[in-house]
Chain A
Amino acid sequence: MRSFVPSLLRWAAVLLALAWSVGPILLVVTSSFKEARDIFATPPSLVFAPTLDNYRALWAHHPMFFRGLLSSLVVTAGATALTLAVSSLAGYVYARHLGRVLQGTAFVMLALRMLPPIIITIPLFPAVNALGLNDTHGLLILLYAAFYVSIATWIMRAFIAALPRELEEAAEVDGAGLARVLWRIVLPLAAQGMVAAAIFVVVFAWNEFVFALVFTTTSAKTAPVVIAELLGTVEGVQWGVIFAASTIQLAPILALVLLLQRYLVAGLTAGAVKA
């Protein structure tokens, strides 16, 4: 009995926490299958005949959203690849080589990460246009990589530093060059770190809003921007359609986070706690 009550309390607390974090998401997902008039029914309708009307309306009237999803996919893949490539190299160097100047640059990297992103939208717009990069996937990829390269580098540094040096040294003795050592030995062993670093970039790039809003118009407009536009249409807010779009947008990333959550823990442990 004594251990039963606390464990009951503990479960109650856990359930409460789950309701808090998952409840709003469930509301969006269920509402996306309700008729427009039922979404704000008084009292709320718990039992309802599910309908795909909202999804049909989204498909028929907002093709922009699906193009946005495609853009999001391209940008997310690109930003993740670029960030991983760049930060694996940097992470290796920071993990294996010490030196005042070098570690000074590591410091600058982290310090720069403290910048509020909205600030750099002011000067970047004309510069981006002069380069013809406005409304391109490439620009978003570069921007997202720039904002996540320091964290990713930090994570990679921690993972690589934990690897034994002997393997690398043995390969070097065998005459392997740096590129080969990195490619054949370090990166495969630090694959977990790459996944951990990647998941942060993926979530950020898939969901990012401010830069996408400022720097895209049509070709590179991402899904979050389209959702925000749906929230502000003159035809009146069609909650059902917004919820349908949100459900589609959040499903893959939510699945990914749920599946790879242990890498998130590992990445944060490496990146933040140890730093």
Chain B
Amino acid sequence: MVTPALSLLAVFLLLPSVYVAWLSGHASTYGQGAVFVGWQNYATIFADRAFWRALVNTVVVVHIVVYGELLLGLGLALLLAAPMRGKGMVIALLLAPYAITEASAMAMWRAMLEPDVGLINQALLGLGLEQIEWATERWTALLIASLVAIWHHLPFTFLILYSAVTTVPRELIEAAAIDGARPWQRFRHVTLWVIMPALLVAVLFRTIFAVRIFSEIWLLTEGGPARLTEVLSIYLYRATFKYHEFGSAAATGTIMLLLCMVVALPYLWRLYDRLVRHA
């Protein structure tokens, strides 16, 4: 009975990734068969400044996105933990970005960020401030792309944390309050302690998903200016769809895969521990 589920996964996820690992040791393009080149593709990539820049950018973006979402998500979860009127509606509206497709999300953000005429830049100019130079400054561009990613994925993080916060027993908090604990202490010693597992899950999932960040940056800057804002998946996209170098694309893919594995390792280990060793 688990066969259909497992075969779907094997055919569409496992086999292709094994093939990608194999291909990363070959040179291949349209109209030419794969030729074995050993570690050559990896050597080429490691010698490419653009790759290292893409790696650094990916790491930076992942950190901004994960911590940003965590802080905002936790703040919102705590804000909404106590009873309030219209809470269902508020939560529903907070989830709205989750329903938006990437292309539309980017269309709306691009329109708001248009130099000179976009809403955000007009507002900044109106306040006598400088425009956001997302198109010319590497870190500004990455920051903006991260903000858009946060906007898009915050609902996910918020939901996980909110679900966890609602499981904190009220009696515990009340007991702590009676013992004279200040709000911050109550949070640190009670709430945080209870939601820690969920917090870790949120961090891991968002990290793994943020490593593959693509459309936020692709639709904003296409990795420009001067390839300064490229992340790993854009580097891979270029190798595949622009240069048709499938070998080095596969090598980049393998590296991304390993990166995700390393990040996911603690989580997978815990899971393995629970599922298999103690089964």
User: Using a CB–CB distance below 8 Å, which chain A residues touch chain B?
Assistant: 10, 13-14, 17-18, 20-22, 24-25, 27-28, 31, 39-40, 42-44, 85-87, 89-90, 92-94, 98-100, 102-124, 127, 142-143, 145-147, 149-150, 153, 203, 206-207, 209-210, 223-225, 227-228, 231, 239, 242-243, 246, 249-250, 253-254, 256-258, 261-262, 264-265, 268-269, 272-273, 275
In the complex, B162 has a CB within 8 A of chain A: yes
A110 to B274: give the CA distance in the assembly, Å. 13
Q: Which residue of A is nearest B123, CB measured?
A: A44
A17 to B151, CA, bound (A): 10
On chain B, the residues within 8 Å of A121 by CB distance are 240
Assess the A22–B93 pair: CB atoms within 8 A. Answer: yes
Is A122 a contact partner of B240 (Cβ separation < 8 A)?
yes
Contacts of B104 in A (CB 8 A): 28, 224, 227, 246, 249-250
Q: How many Å lie between the Cα of A146 and that of B106 in the bound state?
A: 26
Roughly how many angstroms separate A224 CA and B256 CA in the complex, as a whole number? 26
B23 to chain A, nearest CB (A): 7
Stretch with Cβ within 8 A of A (4 or more), from B38-46, B174-182, B206-214: B206-214
Check if A122 sits within 8 Å of B279, measured CB to CB: no
User: Is A24 in contact with B99, judged by CB distance below 8 angstroms?
Assistant: no
Rank and list the top 10 A-B pairs by shortest CB-CB distance, nearest first: A146-B12, A207-B101, A120-B16, A246-B104, A119-B253, A116-B212, A90-B5, A228-B103, A123-B19, A103-B275
Chain B residues with CB below 8 A from A21, complex form? 93-97, 151, 154-155
Contact B279–A109 (Cβ < 8 Å): no
User: Contacts A24-B112, A120-B13, A250-B100; is A18 near B90 (CB within 8 Å)?
Assistant: yes
Which of A14, A20, A225 touches B90 (beta carbons < 8 Å)? Answer: A14
- Within 8 Å by CB of A268, from B88, B159, B219, lies B159
Interchain CB contact under 8 A, A224 and B2 = no
Annotate B39-73 by CB proximity to A: 1 below 8 A, 0 otherwise: 00000000000000000000000000000000000
**Chain-A contact segment, one of B129-137, B184-192, B257-265:** B257-265
Residues on the A chain within 8 Å of B118, using CB: 40
Q: B102 near A207 (CB under 8 angstroms)?
A: yes
In this assembly, does B35 line the interface, its C-beta being within 8 Å of a C-beta of chain A? no
Closest approach, in angstroms, between the C-beta of B234 and any C-beta of chain A?
10
Q: How far is the CB of B133 from chain A (nearest CB, A)?
A: 19
If the complex has contacts A107-B275, A203-B99, are A90 and B119 also in contact, measured as CB distance less than 8 A?
A: no
Decide if B117 is an interface residue (CB 8 Å cutoff).
yes
CB neighbours (8 Å) of B88 from chain A are 261-262
